[in-house]
Amino acid sequence: MTHAAPRTQLMPRRRPDRIRVFSERAHVVGKLAVPVVLGLVYGYWVAANRRDGGPITGWNLLFGFLTALVFAVLCMALLSVAPKLRREVHAVLWGAFSGAAVSFLFNQTGLSTLQSTGLGLAVAAGVFVFLFYRYYTHEDAQGHRIE
């Protein structure tokens, strides 16, 4: 019987990369555009909660744009820094960010600070549990992502 002779590999076998639907340029633009759009929506929502159906004033617009700016900058910072951290810290940062955002949004309605704090802590805990589970099941023991 004949057997196939072993051959040397000229090129090492690599895992095929994930399928890229969009170009690299589109991903770069998306990393900037998504936080900006989310910040604008969040800023509008906070300003609308703060004015409580009253007239739109210049101070209200300024407050909304400053809130949008802070939200977008924090979101961009998290998107660039958090993936480099361990899964626990990564999940804690996103949980704290989302809990603080929801708490601040709810606080602008004029209701109790204690209620907004409780809601923010509940949202932060939920986001932490969800993201920790996701990162835990998509990484190996050393923290490298498994795609």
Signed CA dihedral, 67, 68, 69, 73: sign only: positive
Residue 125 has pLDDT above 70, yes or no: yes
pLDDT the model gives residue 22: 83
Report CA-CA distances (Å) from 121 to 66, 89, 113: 24, 17, 12
Mean pLDDT rounded to a whole number for the chain: 86
Q: What is the mean pLDDT of residues 29-57?
A: 92
Residue type, position 66, single letter: L
Residue 19 has pLDDT above 80, yes or no: no
Of 64, 81, 75, the C-alpha closest to 30 is 75
Comparing 53 with 48, the larger pLDDT belongs to 48
Q: pLDDT tens-digit profile of 63-99?
A: 999 999 999 999 999 999 988 888 889 999 999 999 9
pLDDT the model gives residue 61: 93
pLDDT the model gives residue 138: 77
Residue 16 has pLDDT above 60, yes or no: no
The share of the chain scoring above pLDDT 70, in percent, equals 84
pLDDT the model gives residue 110: 86
Comparing 17 with 15, the larger pLDDT belongs to 17
Boundaries of every domain in the chain: 23-83, 85-147
Distance between CA atoms of 126 and 129, rounded to whole angstroms?
5
